[in-house]
């Protein structure tokens, strides 16, 4: 029996988490991070229990936080007798079912205690003290602060740097293992002794272990291996999520990482990257299963409240209805959803939307065949975007404009296919073209695709595009998706695609997805070409490459995309860094503009250098002349993985 279907707009009700996690103009919401932090959540729960025993409570909500707080925590045990606002323009509005009163009327409340719903509340309490009801005690959110040793900035609790947190899919057992790898990039900004506060949650959401990871003093490698964690804490098999909080850091409030997921048995190797720490209402880019596949979506609750039954679900891309998951998910728990059960009519290359209601950080999905499996991730589907006419008006100045580059892996071993993926609710069609380049930057193919409809994106087979080019003539290269307005259309700059790679011999596969950017152009358009260390344009490169653990080698595919002609060749430096942060060796290479290079770690550095670097070394790809885009993965005779690199 098919699951019940609901019109898409019915999803926007109480089941959607009413909290703003991220705003494209103002960035991340530190209050959300503070209120959903697992340790902070325990302290808020204790605070709620205390308030529930004090009798009637007046809530003073000067910053408008109580709605967000109630979205993440059950405040119903508190006997609220009134809510008071500081801003005149808020008076008369409704929060938690109460009409807001001016704080000047607080003294008329019959409350026995006043809850100030704010952190760093000393100043607010001092101002409100003359207005308190007679004999009332004051309780603030400062009672639920994290301990000072977990703060990077102790002067301002809601500083973004205090909540550099993220979740990672993490499992071990029955031969399956997970390995999280990153680097101490905070050392580059002057962080003296950073560490990671870690908590591992099991499938049921209960904590399995909590510990601190000391980081190398220099820009060394961070490694958290599920086998080591399991041995250290004497754990049984688990599938869950790892919460990571970077402490004592500087300059950068994002936790970035790569995870490798593999099995002792062959055929189960994959890699993916950080989970995007800001839960979204929708995600897209989830492939439907082929006839011989199962696709499981791993939903991992990011919050201390259960996800209600029916709050999340799937829809076939282009459909106006969604199939809900009629199952409650406990706090911090992990659930695998068989996509075929919810949307049985969707078959690859059809795509699915995830209606996640801001309950979960970017979910992972796992494609499984009879003998093999691979893991990847969905991406944020934007609800705040609309088509931007300036993209079309500026086409002559922007050249190729927004470019989405991806590797063509060596064709004698791998087949490359691409699937455009709508990533904004407003996108009804995508006017795009696919371009194929040889490694020397020569354009080999330009194929307009017209206005690709939202619900029926075509599969792009690179072998079909290169049908007249023998494997030996064009063994490797890259492809680009770009906007093509020859037949009209509109664009918003949020062009995405899924790229799937198939081993011709073993049948193993990997896939990755990403979005477009403007590359290597001195003109700026909005915040493009993006820069991670200042205002646009971003015209330099610093990428992190984790190196494989035995028995795997590491492969890299570096692409030099350019929206307009830029420097003829890159001046790229690859630095081999030991786990301690010590630089072991360097090598340089040139990549032609619009060209690419396919590389292997075992060929880049000789055996003495690799031996000196030791286990858990990493590479840094640096270029001060242009911005490169890179992919990396592990490779053996029968297996491989692939995902894009992250900026270090």
Q: By the 8 A CB rule, do 166 and 275 touch?
A: yes
Domain assignment present for 297: yes
Which sign, positive or negative, has the C-alpha torsion 76, 78, 80, 86? negative
pLDDT of residue 429 exceeding 60: yes
pLDDT of residue 4 exceeding 70: no
| pLDDT band (50, 70, 90) for residue 240 | very high
Span 433-438, average pLDDT: 96
**How large is the C-alpha radius of gyration of the chain?**
26
Same domain flag for 453 and 353: no
Domain assignment present for 14: no
Same domain flag for 223 and 237: yes
Q: By the 8 A CB rule, do 584 and 577 touch?
A: yes
Per cent of the chain over pLDDT 70 is 97
pTM for the complete prediction? 0.94
pLDDT of residue 556 exceeding 70: yes
Same domain flag for 280 and 427: no
Same domain flag for 198 and 292: yes
Span 237-261, average pLDDT: 96
pLDDT of residue 24: 65
Number of structural domains in the chain: 3
Domain assignment present for 182: yes
Residue 131, SS3? helix
Same domain flag for 193 and 133: no
pLDDT of residue 20: 84
Domain C-terminal end among 145, 160, 191: 145
Taking only the tens place, the pLDDT of each residue in 346-359 is 999 999 999 999 99
pLDDT of residue 26: 66
DSSP 8: G
Strand-pairing partners, residue 313, are: 324, 355
Same domain flag for 141 and 159: no
Taking only the tens place, the pLDDT of each residue in 492-528 is 999 999 999 999 999 999 999 999 999 999 999 999 9
Taking only the tens place, the pLDDT of each residue in 303-320 is 999 999 999 999 999 998
Span 87-111, average pLDDT: 96
Domain assignment present for 229: yes
pLDDT of residue 144 exceeding 90: yes
- CATH code, domain with 626: 2.60.290.11
Taking only the tens place, the pLDDT of each residue in 55-97 is 999 999 999 999 999 999 999 999 999 999 999 999 999 999 9
pLDDT of residue 275: 80
Domain C-terminal end among 320, 350, 377: 377
Distance (Å, whole) CA 635 – CA 551: 9
DSSP 507-558: --EEEEEEE-EE-S-SS-BTTBS--SSSSSP---EEEEEE-PPTT-EEEEEE
pLDDT of residue 8 exceeding 80: no
pLDDT of residue 21: 83
Same domain flag for 415 and 370: no
Q: Is the previous residue joined to 529 through a cis bond, with omega within 30 degrees of 0?
A: yes
Taking only the tens place, the pLDDT of each residue in 585-620 is 999 999 999 999 999 999 999 999 999 999 999 999
| pLDDT band (50, 70, 90) for residue 381 | very high
Span 117-146, average pLDDT: 96
pLDDT of residue 7 exceeding 70: no
Backbone angles phi, psi at 27, to 5 degrees: 90, -155
Strand-pairing partners, residue 79, are: 56
Least confident piece of the model among 6-20, 95-109, 167-181, 255-269: 6-20
Span 199-228, average pLDDT: 96
DSSP 168-194: EEEEEBTTEEEEEEEE-GGGGGT-SS-
Q: By the 8 A CB rule, do 199 and 38 touch?
A: yes
Cβ neighbours of 570 (radius 10 Å): 25
Distance (Å, whole) CA 100 – CA 95: 7
| pLDDT band (50, 70, 90) for residue 1 | very low
Distance (Å, whole) CA 511 – CA 641: 8
Domain assignment present for 32: no
Same domain flag for 233 and 367: yes
Domain C-terminal end among 145, 171, 189: 145
Same domain flag for 141 and 156: no
pLDDT of residue 6: 53
Residues contacting residue 228 through CB under 8 Å, at least 6 positions apart: none
pLDDT of residue 51 exceeding 90: yes
Quote the mean pLDDT of the chain: 94
| pLDDT band (50, 70, 90) for residue 9 | very low
| pLDDT band (50, 70, 90) for residue 10 | very low
- Containing structural domain, residue 112: 38-145
Domain assignment present for 10: no
pLDDT of residue 378: 96
Same domain flag for 263 and 353: yes
Residues contacting residue 245 through CB under 8 Å, at least 6 positions apart: 37, 150, 163, 164, 165, 196, 197, 198, 255
- In a 10 Å sphere around its CB, with 0-12 CB exposed, 13-18 middle and 19+ buried, how is residue 91 labelled? middle
Same domain flag for 45 and 179: no
Residue among 571, 572, 568, 573 nearest 593 (CA): 568
Distance (Å, whole) CA 632 – CA 553: 11
Domain assignment present for 20: no
pLDDT of residue 5: 58
- CATH code, domain with 103: 3.40.50
Domain assignment present for 309: yes
Taking only the tens place, the pLDDT of each residue in 559-577 is 999 999 999 999 999 999 9
pLDDT of residue 533: 76
Span 452-460, average pLDDT: 94
Same domain flag for 504 and 468: yes
- In a 10 Å sphere around its CB, with 0-12 CB exposed, 13-18 middle and 19+ buried, how is residue 328 labelled? middle
pLDDT of residue 13: 43
Give how far Cα 388 sits from Cα of 391, 392, 525, Å.
6, 8, 12
């Amino acid at each position: 029996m098919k699951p019940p279907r609901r019109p898409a707009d019915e999803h926007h009700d109480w089941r959607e988490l009413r909290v703003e996690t991220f705003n494209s103009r103002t960035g991340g919401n530190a209050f959300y991070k503070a209120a959903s932090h697992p340790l902070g959540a325990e302290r808020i729960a204790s605070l709620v229990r205390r308030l529930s025993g004090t009798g009637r409570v007046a809530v003073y909500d000067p910053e408008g936080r109580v709605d967000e707080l109630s979205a993440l925590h059950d405040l119903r045990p508190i006997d609220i007798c009134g809510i008071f606002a500081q801003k005149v323009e808020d008076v008369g509005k409704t929060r938690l079912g109460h009409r807001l009163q001016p704080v000047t009327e607080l003294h008329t409340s019959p409350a026995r205690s006043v809850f100030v719903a704010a952190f760093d509340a000393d100043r607010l309490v001092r101002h409100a003290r003359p207005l308190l009801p007679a004999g009332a005690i004051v309780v603030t959110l400062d009672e639920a602060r994290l301990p000072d040793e977990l703060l990077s900035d102790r002067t301002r609790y809601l500083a973004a740097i205090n909540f550099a947190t993220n979740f990672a899919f993490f499992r071990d057992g029955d031969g399956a293992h997970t390995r999280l790898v990153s680097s101490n990039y905070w050392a580059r900004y002057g962080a003296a002794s950073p560490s990671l506060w870690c908590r591992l949650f099991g499938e049921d959401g209960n904590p399995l272990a909590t510990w601190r990871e000391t980081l190398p003093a220099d820009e060394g490698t961070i490694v958290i291996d599920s086998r080591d964690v399991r041995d250290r804490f004497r754990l049984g098999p688990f599938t869950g999520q790892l919460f990571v909080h970077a402490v004592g850091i500087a300059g950068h409030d994002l936790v970035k990482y790569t995870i490798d997921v593999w099995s002792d048995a062959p055929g189960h190797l994959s890699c993916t990257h950080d989970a995007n720490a800001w839960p979204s209402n929708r995600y897209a880019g989830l492939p439907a299963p082929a006839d011989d596949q199962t696709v499981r979506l791993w939903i991992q609750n990011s919050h201390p409240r259960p996800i209600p039954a029916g709050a999340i679900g799937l829809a076939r891309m282009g459909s106006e209805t969604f199939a809900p998951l009629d199952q409650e998910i406990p706090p911090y728990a992990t659930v695998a959803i068989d996509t075929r059960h919810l949307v049985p009519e969707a078959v690859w290359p059809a795509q699915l939307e995830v209606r996640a209601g801001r309950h979960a950080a970017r979910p992972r999905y796992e494609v499984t065949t009879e003998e093999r499996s691979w893991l990847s991730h969905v991406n944020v589907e934007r609800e705040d975007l609309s088509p931007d006419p300036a993209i079309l008006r500026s086409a002559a100045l922007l050249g190729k404009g927004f470019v989405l580059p991806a590797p063509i892996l060596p064709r004698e071993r791998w087949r490359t296919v691409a699937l455009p993926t709508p990533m904004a609710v407003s996108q009804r069609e995508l006017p795009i073209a696919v371009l194929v380049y040889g490694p020397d930057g020569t354009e080999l193919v330009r194929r307009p695709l017209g206005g690709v409809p939202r619900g029926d994106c075509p599969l792009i087979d690179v072998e079909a595009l290169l049908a007249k080019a023998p494997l030996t003539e064009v063994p490797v290269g890259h492809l680009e998706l770009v906007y093509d307005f020859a037949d009209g259309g509109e664009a918003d700059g949020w062009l995405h695609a899924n790229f799937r790679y198939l081993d011709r011999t073993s049948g193993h596969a990997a896939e990755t997805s990403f979005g477009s950017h403007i590359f290597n152009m001195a003109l700026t358009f909005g915040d493009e070409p993006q820069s991670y260390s200042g205002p646009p344009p971003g015209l330099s490169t610093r990428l992190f490459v984790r190196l494989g653990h035995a028995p795997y080698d590491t492969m890299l595919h570096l692409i030099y995309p350019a929206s307009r002609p830029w420097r003829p060749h890159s001046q790229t430096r690859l630095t081999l860094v030991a786990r301690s942060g010590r630089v072991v060796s360097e090598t340089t290479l040139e990549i032609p503009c619009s060209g690419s290079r396919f590389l292997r770690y075992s060929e880049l550095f000789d055996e003495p250098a690799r031996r000196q670097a030791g286990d858990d070394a990493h590479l840094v790809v640096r270029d001060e002349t242009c911005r490169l885009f890179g992919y990396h993965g592990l490779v053996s005779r029968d297996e491989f993985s692939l995902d894009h690199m992250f900026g270090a």
